[in-house]
């Protein structure tokens, strides 16, 4: 609801967001035929179907579907580590809501949305479409429970690069709790195809701050291995390693040209999206200026 | 405070357990789910001061419970000085229970038992109270607590030992159950404060397997009474015994009489080969060859032994008189002789003459004589000879005198009636069952009441016996409700006595019209049994009913000729005596002494030794073989568990048989003091209460605790 009230779409048009978003390689030309219509004066004669005229001696206009300017693919991480959460909802919930929001308003503005869920491998793939029932399929796929035992971002992104040939936009939703070095090569490949990549890192506040107090056996959500941890003693080391990881991730993204958005689940979703759109608008201006 | 088992105090070291667990438990209790452990390194659990302090109450409770358990197991007690009133220890009430059953006749057992009892009497302190009870089939109080108290302390032991010396083992079986109950009642039946005294029963017996414990099943053993078994042991183990068992059901059909005996060999016996032979007091009696028998230990065998009834002489075989026949079977090959003789008197066929006076013949199938001759067939035990005579040709006086029972069914001449009356006065029984109405004069003469008249009656459909006196010997066999139904016997006609009956006449049954049916008239030493309706078919269905034959036998019994099956009484069992006696009855014991019983006695209860008892005198004397109870032969030791199962509190540890330890003077032994104080019960109770409290507190704490992570 908060997303609707923000009137993102109008804002994006005003700020020139669509320019950035609409760099479709087909220049307003659609291949999706829908129906024939009698020619009336004033119609563009380019659209008259001459073959039909040759057969029937009448002028018919070939009508196409609304033109799609953007193909957007959402890559959603469904691994077990996403099932962790201390704020009343898990990271998976947060990421799913975010994915649904993207899907919803991109669909509303007529763009084609695709979805790829993955854990250590690709689980589900819905090609980018803009059809009346497509959104419901998407929601269903987003809501399916997480099953993966580990997060390997490299393989799914490589697979995405194999499957997504047409240029468009790729949104990656994950906690990125994997080795950053593995990410660089697949991301580069994906970017080289011409995709614009946005990476959203969904984190729990306790992952960021390691705010546990009582010592206990810590169990890995994915592998199930346990470690005895005294938080007071372990916090400093954790934060040091976590921050190093975040920096490594940010530097990889900067090198590849991926827009990088860490999100913490205690933050309202609308705010996070708002930040993202502002960032997008800024990037759009930059691109326009560059062009 | 002292301890009976101080080593158990080491168990208190287990307190270290809870302390250790309290130190390390908190570190391992929680599990926290975390997204990824890739940024974490393990840190060792730390024993913080905080964790020790948090559950100090639980820790205290646990340690205390463990310490109390260790304390309870070490059986603590307080060494208290004994009360000054009894310098030799606490006052004791003791019943010395001495077995005098037949199995104590084995060599040395009785002397050993007496010595043990005497030792107990001598060791008794001045404050102690003792009683002496002997038991076999019955329990007898020989020296009571009052007698013991009344005597001076110096004389007490002498009195009790003298009472015991006067006794000898009897021939009776061991009834241990009633004896223990009796002794417990002697101890309970006291006005002394029962908590202050120790109550004990010293059981001096051979404690054989055959001892009967039946009454203990239903007896709740009183608390605080200990039984100290002091078994006396025979020098030899193992025993074989011989026992008479019931005859085979078809014994009557055989021609060669035999008795069936069972020879049992105890499980701990070392012998297997035995012999069974007849023995007689008369050396001239020929004795058949002994029978060899092989009985493995723990088994029993049943053996038919032929009865020697004839003796071969030069002139052929002659029937031996009863008194000269061998009367006992002896088992040889066994070490313990006390139960090796079995006294047997095989049933002798008794001969009886019955005189029938009537106008009918045996061939007339509807008349009384026909039924009478068929109801009393000849068997191996009895021969009833029926002589028939007609009133027109009266029987000779010899025939009248030899008949035990005279049955009359027709009117008699006056002379014959008078002679019958004479026979009745001398003790014979006459049954008068007229078949017609013209018998008034005969009845009047027989009962000597002139003017007695009989009137023939015919009921509308049939008459029934309405009133029956089952106490009368004629009806006594039918007293059981299963047999007392006489309503199936229909009477077509009968004779009513219209004149009043003599005062001494007993009406046994009446018809439903209240007319007397059977009347018993005592006449002199004999009697007249008058039947208002006989058993001819014209009179009634009596002869056709199932009551007729038993009734005839009870009539013969009433006439003093018992043909009832022979009984095999054991020592102490009563012997039923023949009813209807008029004079004293002589009883001759196996040892030759005699007793006379009054006519009112219906049974003889003084069978105190095995052997042949003779009931009656002269030629009428009947032998009755009285035997030892077969259970006395089972001399294998009784297991103490059997007594414990019956709820008896045994104190085997304090038994003098199990190496008595000298007591330290002045103070009771530690075990005794501890078992009296029983502090461990209270300590265990306290430990359980502490554990319950600990469970409660731990439960509350666990419910309040937050189970998983608690991030800030």
Residues A178 and A47 reside in one and the same domain: no
Q: Do A207 and B35 touch (CB under 8 A)?
A: yes
Interchain contact B321–A (C-beta under 8 A)? no
Residue B526 has pLDDT above 70, yes or no: yes
Q: Do B43 and A219 touch (CB under 8 A)?
A: no
Q: In what helix (H) or strand (E) does residue B261 lie, and over which residues does it extend?
A: strand B258-265
How many A/B residue pairs have CB atoms within 8 Å? 98
Within a domain: B568:
no
* B31, B39, B712 member nearest A213 (Cβ): B712
**Are the C-beta atoms of residues A8 and A277 closer than 8 Å to each other?**
yes
Residues B446 and B480 reside in one and the same domain: yes
**CA of B31: how far to CAs of A82, A216, A221, B28, B34, in Å?**
18, 6, 12, 8, 10
Confidence of residue A164 (pLDDT cuts 50, 70, 90): confident
Within a domain: B381:
yes
Closest CA to A276 of A1, A3, A46: A3
Q: Do B40 and A226 touch (CB under 8 A)?
A: no
Confidence of residue B328 (pLDDT cuts 50, 70, 90): confident
The enclosing domain of B645 has a CATH number of 3.40.50.410
Q: Residue B31: CB partners within 8 Å, gap ≥ 6?
A: A216, A217, A218, A219, A226, B708
Within a domain: A197:
yes
- pLDDT of B26 reads 54
The enclosing domain of A190 has a CATH number of 3.40.50.410
pLDDT tens digits along B244-270: 887 665 555 555 667 888 998 888 888
Mean pLDDT of the region A180-204: 89
Residue B51: helix, strand or coil by DSSP? helix
Which residues of chain B are within 8 Å of residue A206 when distances are taken between CB atoms?
Answer: 711
Is the pLDDT higher at B511 or at A71? B511
Closest CA to A200 of A74, A116, A83: A74
Residues B73 and B180 reside in one and the same domain: no
pLDDT tens digits along A121-133: 888 888 888 887 8
How close is the nearest chain A Cα to the Cα of B21, in Å?
A: 16
Residues B617 and B657 reside in one and the same domain: no
**Are the C-beta atoms of residues A51 and A62 closer than 8 Å to each other?**
no
Is the pLDDT higher at B283 or at B564? B283
Interchain contact B35–A (C-beta under 8 A)? yes
Domain range for A253:
71-290
Interchain contact B709–A (C-beta under 8 A)? yes
Within a domain: B281:
no
Within a domain: A21:
no
Task: Please state, in angstroms and rounded to a whole number, the distance separating the CA atoms of residues B115 and B166.
Answer: 14
pTM of the predicted model as reported, rounded to 2 decimal places? 0.46
Which residues of chain B are within 8 Å of residue A175 when distances are taken between CB atoms?
Answer: 35
- pLDDT of B579 reads 63
Q: Do A84 and B29 touch (CB under 8 A)?
A: no
Residues B151 and B14 reside in one and the same domain: no
Chain B, residues 36-55, CB within 8 A of chain A, namely 36-46
Question: Would you give the distance in Å from CA B469 to the centre of its chain?
Answer: 31
Give residue ranges of A with CB < 8 Å to any B CB: 81-82, 84, 86, 91, 151, 175, 177, 204-207, 211-223, 225-230, 233-234, 237-238, 241-242, 245
Is the pLDDT higher at B256 or at A196? A196
Q: Do B35 and A212 touch (CB under 8 A)?
A: no
Q: Do A216 and B30 touch (CB under 8 A)?
A: yes
Beta strands in B225-349 (DSSP E): 225-231, 240-244, 258-265, 273-279, 291-294, 300-306, 310-313, 316-319, 328-332, 341-343
Residues B362 and B465 reside in one and the same domain: yes
Residue B316 has pLDDT above 90, yes or no: no
pLDDT tens digits along B265-297: 888 888 889 999 888 777 777 778 888 989 998
Task: Please state, in angstroms and rounded to a whole number, the distance separating the CA atoms of residues B376 and B353.
Answer: 11
pLDDT tens digits along A32-48: 566 788 888 888 888 88
Mean pLDDT score of chain B:
82
Question: Would you give the distance in Å from CA B344 to the centre of its chain?
Answer: 21
Residues A37 and A127 reside in one and the same domain: no
**Are the C-beta atoms of residues A120 and A157 closer than 8 Å to each other?**
no
Residues A230 and A181 reside in one and the same domain: yes
Q: Residue B28: CB partners within 8 Å, gap ≥ 6?
A: A217, A228, B45
Within a domain: A23:
no
Which residues of chain B are within 8 Å of residue A249 when distances are taken between CB atoms?
Answer: none
Interchain contact B25–A (C-beta under 8 A)? no
- Other C-beta atoms closer than 10 Å to the C-beta of B132 total 25
The structural domain count of chain A equals 2
Domain range for B134:
92-233+637-666
Residue A21 has pLDDT above 60, yes or no: no
Minimal Cα distance from A177: which residue of B?
B36
Mean pLDDT of the region A237-251: 93
* B39, B40, B710 member nearest A214 (Cβ): B710
* A213, A226, A242 member nearest B39 (Cβ): A242
Interchain contact B705–A (C-beta under 8 A)? no
Mean pLDDT of the region B567-593: 80
**Are the C-beta atoms of residues B628 and B205 closer than 8 Å to each other?**
no
Question: B46-55, B125-134, B145-154, B363-372 — which one is most confidently predicted on average?
Answer: B363-372
Q: Do A228 and B34 touch (CB under 8 A)?
A: no
Mean pLDDT of the region B187-212: 78
Residue A163 has pLDDT above 90, yes or no: no
Which value, to the nearest 10 degrees, does the dihedral of the CA atoms of residues A176, A177, A179, A183 take?
A: -10
Interface test mutation site (partner B, options A77, A180, A215, A227, max chain B beta carbons within 10 A): A215
Residues B399 and B378 reside in one and the same domain: yes
Residues A204 and A167 reside in one and the same domain: yes
Residues B407 and B455 reside in one and the same domain: yes
Interface test mutation site (partner A, options B30, B40, B51, max chain A beta carbons within 10 A): B40
Half-sphere exposure of B683 (CA within 13 A, CB side): 18
Within a domain: A9:
no
Among B89-98, B304-313, B653-662, which stretch is predicted with the lowest mean pLDDT?
Answer: B653-662
pLDDT tens digits along B146-171: 888 888 888 888 988 999 898 889 99
The enclosing domain of B514 has a CATH number of 3.40.50.880
Residues A60 and A80 reside in one and the same domain: no
* B28, B38, B711 member nearest A86 (Cβ): B711
Residues B527 and B420 reside in one and the same domain: yes
Which residues of chain B are within 8 Å of residue A223 when distances are taken between CB atoms?
Answer: 37
- pLDDT of A246 reads 94
**Are the C-beta atoms of residues B263 and B300 closer than 8 Å to each other?**
yes
Minimal Cα distance from B41: which residue of A?
A234
Residues A52 and A185 reside in one and the same domain: no
Minimal Cα distance from A207: which residue of B?
B35
Within a domain: A212:
yes
Tokens representing A192 are 């080289």
Task: Please state, in angstroms and rounded to a whole number, the distance separating the CA atoms of residues B320 and A55.
Answer: 153
Minimal Cα distance from A84: which residue of B?
B35
Task: Please state, in angstroms and rounded to a whole number, the distance separating the CA atoms of residues B43 and B456.
Answer: 126
Which residues of chain A are within 8 Å of residue B32 when distances are taken between CB atoms?
Answer: 212, 216-219, 229
**Are the C-beta atoms of residues B228 and B655 closer than 8 Å to each other?**
yes
Among B205-209, B595-599, B688-692, which stretch is predicted with the lowest mean pLDDT?
Answer: B595-599
Within a domain: A24:
no
Mean pLDDT of the region B189-200: 67
Residues A198 and A60 reside in one and the same domain: no
The structural domain count of chain B equals 4
Within a domain: A8:
no
The rounded percent of chain B whose pLDDT value lies above 70 is 85
Residue B319: Cβ-neighbour burial (10 angstroms; 0-12, 13-18, 19+): exposed
Residues A270 and A126 reside in one and the same domain: yes
Residues A181 and A106 reside in one and the same domain: yes
Interchain contact B710–A (C-beta under 8 A)? yes
Half-sphere exposure of B502 (CA within 13 A, CB side): 18
- pLDDT of A15 reads 34
Mean pLDDT score of chain A:
77
In chain A the first and final C-alpha atoms are separated, in Å, by: 36
Which of B512, B531, B558 corresponds to the end of one domain? B558
**CA of B363: how far to CAs of B373, B394, B407, in Å?**
10, 20, 18
Residues A51 and A127 reside in one and the same domain: no
Confidence of residue B566 (pLDDT cuts 50, 70, 90): low
How close is the nearest chain B Cα to the Cα of A114, in Å?
A: 27
**Are the C-beta atoms of residues B440 and B530 closer than 8 Å to each other?**
no
Is the pLDDT higher at A226 or at A109? A226
Within a domain: A12:
no
**CA of A230: how far to CAs of A85, A214, A216, B53, in Å?**
20, 7, 7, 19
Residues A208 and A149 reside in one and the same domain: yes
- Other C-beta atoms closer than 10 Å to the C-beta of B142 total 19
Rg (CA), chain A: 22
* A91, A175, A218 member nearest B34 (Cβ): A218
Residue B380: Cβ-neighbour burial (10 angstroms; 0-12, 13-18, 19+): middle
Minimal Cα distance from B36: which residue of A?
A220
Residues B512 and B484 reside in one and the same domain: yes
Interchain contact B27–A (C-beta under 8 A)? yes
- pLDDT of B90 reads 58
Residues B520 and B579 reside in one and the same domain: no
Q: Do B30 and A242 touch (CB under 8 A)?
A: no
Mean pLDDT of the region B191-207: 77
Mean pLDDT of the region B379-405: 85
**Are the C-beta atoms of residues B131 and B156 closer than 8 Å to each other?**
no
Residues B66 and B194 reside in one and the same domain: no
Strand partners, A148: A79
**Are the C-beta atoms of residues A72 and A50 closer than 8 Å to each other?**
no
Residues B384 and B406 reside in one and the same domain: yes
- pLDDT of B87 reads 45
Residue B450: helix, strand or coil by DSSP? coil
Which residues of chain B are within 8 Å of residue A90 when distances are taken between CB atoms?
Answer: none
Residues A206 and A244 reside in one and the same domain: yes
């Amino acid at each position: 609801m908060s997303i609707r009230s923000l009137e993102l779409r109008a804002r994006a048009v005003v700020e020139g967001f669509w320019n950035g978003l609409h760099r479709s390689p087909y220049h307003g030309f659609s291949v999706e035929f829908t129906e024939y219509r009698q020619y009336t004066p004033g119609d563009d004669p380019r659209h008259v179907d001459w073959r039909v005229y040759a057969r029937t001696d009448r002028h018919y206009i070939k009508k196409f579907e609304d033109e799609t300017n953007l193909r957007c693919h959402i890559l959603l991480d469904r691994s077990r580590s996403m099932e962790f959460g201390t704020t009343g909802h898990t990271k998976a919930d947060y990421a799913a809501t975010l994915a649904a929001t993207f899907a919803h308003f991109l669909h509303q503005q007529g763009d084609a949305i695709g979805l790829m869920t993955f854990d250590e491998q690709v689980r589900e793939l819905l090609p980018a479409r803009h059809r009346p029932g497509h959104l419901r399929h998407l929601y269903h796929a987003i809501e399916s429970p997480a099953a993966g035992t580990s997060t390997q971002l490299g393989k799914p992104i490589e697979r995405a690069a194999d499957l997504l040939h047409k240029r468009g936009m790729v949104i990656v939703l994950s906690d990125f709790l994997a080795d950053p070095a593995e990410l660089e090569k697949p991301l580069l490949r994906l970017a080289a195809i011409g995709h614009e990549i946005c990476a959203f890192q969904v984190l729990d506040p306790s992952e960021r701050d390691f705010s546990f107090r009582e010592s206990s056996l810590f169990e890995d959500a994915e592998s199930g291995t346990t470690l005895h941890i005294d938080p007071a003693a372990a916090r400093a080391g954790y934060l040091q390693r976590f921050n190093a990881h975040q920096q490594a991730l940010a530097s990889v993204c900067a090198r590849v040209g991926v827009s990088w958005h860490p999100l913490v689940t205690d933050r309202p979703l609308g705010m996070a999206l708002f930040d993202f759109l502002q960032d997008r608008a800024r990037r759009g201006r930059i691109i326009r200026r560059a062009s | 405070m002292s301890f009976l088992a101080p080593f158990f105090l080491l168990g208190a070291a287990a307190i270290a357990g809870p302390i250790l667990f309290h130190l390390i438990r908190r570190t391992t209790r929680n599990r926290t789910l975390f997204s990824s452990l890739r940024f974490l390194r393990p840190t060792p659990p730390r024993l913080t001061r905080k964790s020790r302090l948090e559950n100090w109450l639980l820790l205290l409770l646990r340690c205390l419970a463990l310490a109390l358990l260790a304390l309870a197991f070490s059986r603590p007690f307080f060494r208290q000085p004994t009360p000054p009133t009894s310098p030799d220890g606490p006052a004791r009430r003791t019943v010395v229970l001495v077995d005098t059953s037949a199995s104590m006749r084995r060599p040395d057992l009785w002397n050993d038992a007496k010595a043990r009892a005497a030792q107990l009497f001598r060791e008794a302190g001045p404050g102690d109270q003792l009683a002496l009870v002997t038991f076999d089939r019955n329990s007898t109080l020989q020296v009571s607590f009052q007698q013991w108290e009344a005597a001076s302390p110096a004389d007490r032991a002498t009195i009790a030992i003298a009472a015991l010396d006067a006794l000898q083992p009897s021939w009776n079986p061991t009834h241990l159950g009633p004896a223990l109950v009796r002794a417990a009642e002697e101890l309970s039946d006291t006005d002394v404060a029962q908590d202050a005294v120790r109550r004990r029963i010293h059981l001096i017996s051979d404690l054989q397997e055959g001892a009967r414990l039946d009454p203990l099943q239903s007896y709740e053993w009183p608390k605080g009474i200990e039984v100290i078994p002091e078994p006396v042991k025979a020098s030899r183990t193992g025993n074989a015994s011989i026992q008479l068992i019931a005859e085979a059901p078809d014994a009557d059909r055989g021609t060669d009489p035999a008795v069936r005996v069972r020879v049992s060999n105890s499980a701990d016996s070392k012998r297997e080969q035995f012999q069974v032979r007849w023995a007689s007091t008369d050396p001239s009696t020929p004795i058949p060859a002994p029978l060899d028998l092989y009985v493995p230990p723990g088994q029993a065998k049943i053996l038919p032994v032929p009865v020697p009834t004839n003796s071969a002489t030069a002139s052929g075989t002659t029937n031996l008189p009863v008194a000269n026949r061998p009367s006992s079977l002896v088992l040889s090959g066994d070490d313990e002789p006390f139960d090796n003789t079995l006294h047997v008197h095989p049933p002798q066929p008794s001969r009886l003459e019955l005189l029938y006076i009537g106008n009918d013949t045996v061939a007339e199938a509807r008349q009384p004589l026909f039924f009478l001759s068929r109801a009393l067939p000849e068997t191996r035990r009895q021969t009833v000879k029926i002589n028939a005579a007609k009133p027109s040709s009266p029987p000779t006086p010899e025939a009248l005198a030899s008949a035990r029972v005279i049955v009359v069914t027709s009117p008699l001449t006056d002379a014959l009636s008078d002679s019958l009356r004479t026979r009745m006065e001398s003790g014979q029984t006459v049954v008068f069952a007229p078949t017609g109405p013209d018998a008034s004069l005969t009845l009047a003469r027989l009962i000597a009441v002139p003017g007695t008249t009989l009137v023939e009656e015919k009921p509308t459909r049939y008459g029934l016996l309405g009133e029956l006196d089952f106490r009368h010997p004629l009806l006594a066999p039918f007293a059981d409700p299963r047999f007392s139904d006489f309503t199936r016997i229909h009477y077509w006609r009968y004779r009513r006595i219209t004149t009043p009956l003599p005062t001494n006449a007993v009406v046994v049954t009446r018809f439903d019209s209240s007319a007397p049916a059977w009347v018993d008239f005592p006449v002199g030493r004999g009697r007249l049994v008058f039947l208002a309706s006989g058993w001819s078919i014209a009179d009634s269905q009596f002869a056709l009913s199932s009551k007729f034959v038993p009734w005839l036998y009870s009539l013969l019994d009433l006439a003093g000729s018992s043909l009832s099956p022979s009984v095999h009484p054991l020592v102490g069992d009563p012997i039923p005596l023949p009813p209807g006696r008029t004079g004293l009855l002589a009883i001759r014991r196996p040892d030759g002494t005699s007793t006379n019983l009054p006519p009112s006695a219906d049974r003889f209860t003084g069978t105190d030794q095995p052997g042949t008892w003779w009931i009656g005198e002269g030629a009428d004397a009947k032998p009755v073989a009285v035997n030892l109870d077969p259970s006395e032969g089972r001399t294998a030791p009784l297991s103490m568990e059997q007594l414990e199962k019956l709820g008896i509190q045994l104190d085997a540890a304090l038994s003098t048989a199990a190496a008595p330890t000298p007591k330290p003077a002045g103070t009771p032994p530690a075990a005794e003091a501890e078992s009296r104080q029983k502090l461990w019960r209270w300590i265990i109770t306290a430990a359980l209460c502490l554990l319950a409290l600990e469970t409660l507190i731990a439960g509350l704490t666990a419910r309040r605790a937050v189970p998983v992570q608690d991030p800030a």
